[in-house]
Structure 1
Amino acid sequence: MINQIYQLVAPRQFEITYRNENIKKNKVIVRPLYLSICAADQRYYTGKRDEQVLEKKLPMALTHEGVGEVVYDSQGKYDIGTKVIMVPNTPIEKDEVIKENYLPSSKFRSSGYDGFMQDYVFMNHDRIVEIPANLDLSILSYSELVSVSWHAIQRFKQKSISKTDSFGVWGDGNLGYITAILLRNLYPESKIYVFGKTDYKLSHFSFVNDVIYINRIPEDLKIDHAFECVGGKGSQSAINQMINLISPEGSIALLGVSEYPVEINTRLILEKGLTMIGSSRSSAKDFQDIANLYKENPDIIEKLSLLKGEEIEVRTLNDAIKAFELDLSTSWGKTVIKWTM
C-alpha cells in the first residue's frame, strides 16, 4: 500500500512524501487519531537545533506523542478498532543491564526517525499499548510525557535512600505538573512542594501541600528529594536551589533538557553526599504501567485534563502549520492535534 507521510523538510515547511509499505510484514498498522506537540518538535519546526543536526535529521515527520486505532494486525492479536497509545522508542537490540531508552542504537520517532504525522503508522507489536475506548483520547495523546515522568520516578525509587517524607518539584510547566500528580499518587503521605514563578501556572497545583515562589523560599525549609523539571537556562539556578535545600544523602532527579552546559555547586553535593539521577525518555514498560495507572486511578485523567490546551483539527498541511504556530504562543498546557488528514 502507498502511505502518505507529512515531513518537515525545512523550518516551518511541511511536504508530503509517499512510501510503499508491505502490509504483509509482521507489523500492526495504526491510524493516528490524536497527536500532541512537544517542545522537542518545536525545536525542529522553528529551526532552533544546530544546523548540522537539522541537515542530518530532516526531512522527518514530527510528533512522538499520540494515540490511534488499529486498522490491521498481521498476527491477529489486536481487534480492528482497538485504541492504543503509540510508543515512540524503537529498540533494535536488547541489553541485560541498559534499558532500551538509553541504548544508543535505539530509534526514536521525530528524532531522526519519522514520527506519527502519517496516514498510517507501521508499528512493532510491542510498541503499542491498549487503552480503554471510553477514555478521552485527546487527553491520552500526551501520555508519552506522562511516561517520561513515570520513568524518572521509577529510577529515583531504585537509586535513592528510603526516607521520603518530602519532595520538591522545580518547574511550574507541563512536566512539573505531571511529576507532581504522579508523586502525589505514589507517595500519598509525603509532603510535596512545587517551586515556580508564575501565578496562573502555580494555581493549577491545588493537590500539593504548598506552592513556593523561587524568589521567596522559606529559610527553614528542607526537603528529602528533588525533581528538576525546568530545563534550559533556568535549570542552573533550579539545580543549585535544590542542592542548597535538600537534606544530606537526598537525591536530585534531572528531567529538564538544556542545550548548553550548566554550572552547579559540586562542593555542596560532595559535603551532603547527594545523588544526582539523569533520566531521558521512557520504555514500553513505562507506557504499560501508566495505562494501568489510568484504569486504576481515573482521578489522574481528570487532573491531566487541565493540561489540555487548544485542540486543532488537522486536515491539510496549512492546518498543521497553524497548530504548530498556535502552540508557540501557548505558555501552559499541551496543544492537541485531531488528526484527520
Structure 2
Amino acid sequence: MINIVYRLKSPKFFEESIDEIELDGVVVRPTYLSICQADQRYYQGSRPAEILDKKLPMALIHEAIGDVVFDSEGNFKSGDTVVMIPNTPCGEDVCRANYSYKSKFRGSGFDGFTSDLIKLESDRVVKLPDDFNNYVSSFIELMSVAYQGITKFDSIAITPKSRLGVWGDGNLGFITALFLKEMYPQSKVVVFGKHQDNLNLFSFADEIYRIHDVPDGLAIDHCFECVGSSASQTAIEQIIDLVNPQGTVNLFGVSEYPVPINTRMILEKGLTVQGNSRSEREDFIGVVALLSDNPRLFDYLEKLITNVCEINSLNDLKEAFDKDSISKFGKTILKWNK
C-alpha cells in the first residue's frame, strides 16, 4: 500500500516522500497529534549539528492517537481509536525497554507519526474508550512519562510521603503534580515555579510557591524535577536543599549540556537520585486506566491545550510548529486531516 510520509529534511523545512507500507500488524491512520519540546528542538535546529546530520530527514511527533485501518491478527476492529506507543523494542534486555539501547524511539532516530498511515506491532497500540477526549488523548504519551516516573518512585521511596514537591510549572510539571495528587490523595503536593500565570492553573495543588519566594523551614519528603535545560541546575540545587534526609530526587528534565550537582549534600542526606525517560506499554495502560477511573482529570488536562491546528498541507504543519514555538505554556494539538 502506498503511504505518504511528511519528514523534516532540515530545520524548518518539511518534505513529502512516498513509501510502501505492508499490510501486516496494525495499520493506523493518525487523527490527533501533539507537538513536544523534543520535536521543536529538531524543527528549530537547536540540537547539535552532528545529531541533526545523523537523524534528518525524519518524520517528527511521538505523541499521537489514531484510528485502526487494518489489523492482520484481528485484535482490533476497523475504526477503533488507539494511542500509539513510540518506543519500539528491538530485542530483549535486562532493563525496561524504554531504557534499553536495543530500543528505537519514533521521532528520534526513526520516523515519527507525521504520515498518512502508521504500521505497528499489536503491542505498540492501546485501545481508548469511546468517551475519551481526543484532544487530551493526543498527549497520553507525555502523561505516560509522568506515570512511569511516579510508579518507579513508589518502589524506591523508603521515607514517608507526606509532602511531595514538583519543580516546574510547564506541561510535564502540571501532569506530574496532577497525577501525584490523584495517586497519593493523602499527601500534600507542593509546586515550585517561576511563572505566576502558569502556577495559577495548578488549582489542585495544596501549596504553590515561586522559586524565589519559598518560606524558611519548608521541607519536602520527595521531589520531582520537571524543569530541564540549563534551569534544571537551579531547581536541583533547591531540591537538594529542601528535601528531607533519605528522600528521593526524581529527575525528568532534559538538558543538552551537563548540569552540576551538589554530590556532597546528596551523600550527607543519603538521597536517592533517579532518572526518568520515556515509557513503556504498561505505563500507557496505567494512564488509560487512571483517566477512565477519574474522568474529571480531563477537565484539568484540557487547560494545557493552547493551540489546535488543522493540518491539510505541509504549510499547515510548518505554521503549527511556528505557532507552538512562541507559546510559553501548554500543548499544540494537530488535527491531522492528511
1:275 corresponds in structure 2 to: 272
| C-alpha displacement of 1:220 | 1.1
Would you say 1:66 and 2:57 are equivalent positions? no
Among 80, 83, 86, the residue aligned to 1:85: 83
Kindly report which structure 2 residues correspond to 1:37-76, keeping only aligned pairs within 5 A, or say none. Answer: 37-76=35-74
The residue matched to 1:298 in structure 2 has which SS?
A: coil
The residue matched to 1:14 in structure 2 has which SS?
A: strand
Would you say 1:212 and 2:209 are equivalent positions? yes
| C-alpha displacement of 1:93 | 1.1
For residues 110 and 100 of structure 2, the distance between their equivalents in structure 1, rounded to whole angstroms, comes to 15
1:5 corresponds in structure 2 to: 5
Kindly report which structure 2 residues correspond to 1:280-295, keeping only aligned pairs within 5 A, or say none. Answer: 280-295=277-292
2:18 corresponds in structure 1 to: 18
1:29 corresponds in structure 2 to: 27
For residues 306 and 215 of structure 1, the distance between their equivalents in structure 2, rounded to whole angstroms, comes to 25
Whether the 8 Å contact between 2:162 and 2:186 is mirrored in structure 1 is: yes
Deviation per residue, 1:307-330 (Å, 9 max, x gap)? 111100000000000000000010
Would you say 1:253 and 2:289 are equivalent positions? no
For residues 152 and 143 of structure 1, the distance between their equivalents in structure 2, rounded to whole angstroms, comes to 14
- Unaligned 5+ segments in structure 1 are none
Whether the 8 Å contact between 2:33 and 2:64 is mirrored in structure 1 is: yes
Whether the 8 Å contact between 2:159 and 2:247 is mirrored in structure 1 is: no
Deviation per residue, 1:242-268 (Å, 9 max, x gap)? 000010000000000011111111111
Whether the 8 Å contact between 2:159 and 2:246 is mirrored in structure 1 is: no
Among 140, 143, 164, the residue aligned to 2:140: 143
Deviation per residue, 1:280-303 (Å, 9 max, x gap)? 000011001111111111011111
Would you say 1:124 and 2:124 are equivalent positions? no
* Identical aligned residues as a percent: 48
TM-score, length of structure 2 as denominator length = 0.99
Amino acid in the other structure paired with 2:64:
G
1:243 corresponds in structure 2 to: 240
For residues 22 and 141 of structure 1, the distance between their equivalents in structure 2, rounded to whole angstroms, comes to 25
The residue matched to 2:212 in structure 1 has which SS?
A: coil
For residues 336 and 259 of structure 2, the distance between their equivalents in structure 1, rounded to whole angstroms, comes to 38
For residues 193 and 177 of structure 1, the distance between their equivalents in structure 2, rounded to whole angstroms, comes to 11
Among 134, 152, 155, the residue aligned to 1:155: 152
The residue matched to 1:61 in structure 2 has which SS?
A: coil
The residue matched to 1:60 in structure 2 has which SS?
A: coil
For residues 92 and 299 of structure 2, the distance between their equivalents in structure 1, rounded to whole angstroms, comes to 36
The residue matched to 2:95 in structure 1 has which SS?
A: coil
2:192 corresponds in structure 1 to: 195
| C-alpha displacement of 1:32 | 0.3
TM-score, length of structure 1 as denominator length = 0.98
For residues 178 and 15 of structure 2, the distance between their equivalents in structure 1, rounded to whole angstroms, comes to 38
For residues 187 and 134 of structure 1, the distance between their equivalents in structure 2, rounded to whole angstroms, comes to 26
1:228 corresponds in structure 2 to: 225
For residues 284 and 150 of structure 1, the distance between their equivalents in structure 2, rounded to whole angstroms, comes to 11
For residues 233 and 21 of structure 1, the distance between their equivalents in structure 2, rounded to whole angstroms, comes to 41
- Unaligned 5+ segments in structure 2 are none
| C-alpha displacement of 1:162 | 4.1
Residues paired across the two proteins, number: 338
Whether the 8 Å contact between 2:66 and 2:82 is mirrored in structure 1 is: yes
Would you say 1:327 and 2:319 are equivalent positions? no
For residues 192 and 20 of structure 2, the distance between their equivalents in structure 1, rounded to whole angstroms, comes to 50
For residues 263 and 216 of structure 1, the distance between their equivalents in structure 2, rounded to whole angstroms, comes to 23
Kindly report which structure 2 residues correspond to 1:98-117, keeping only aligned pairs within 5 A, or say none. Answer: 98-117=95-114
For residues 312 and 206 of structure 1, the distance between their equivalents in structure 2, rounded to whole angstroms, comes to 27
For residues 67 and 190 of structure 1, the distance between their equivalents in structure 2, rounded to whole angstroms, comes to 32
List structure 1 segments (4+ residues) > 3 angstroms apart after TM superposition: none
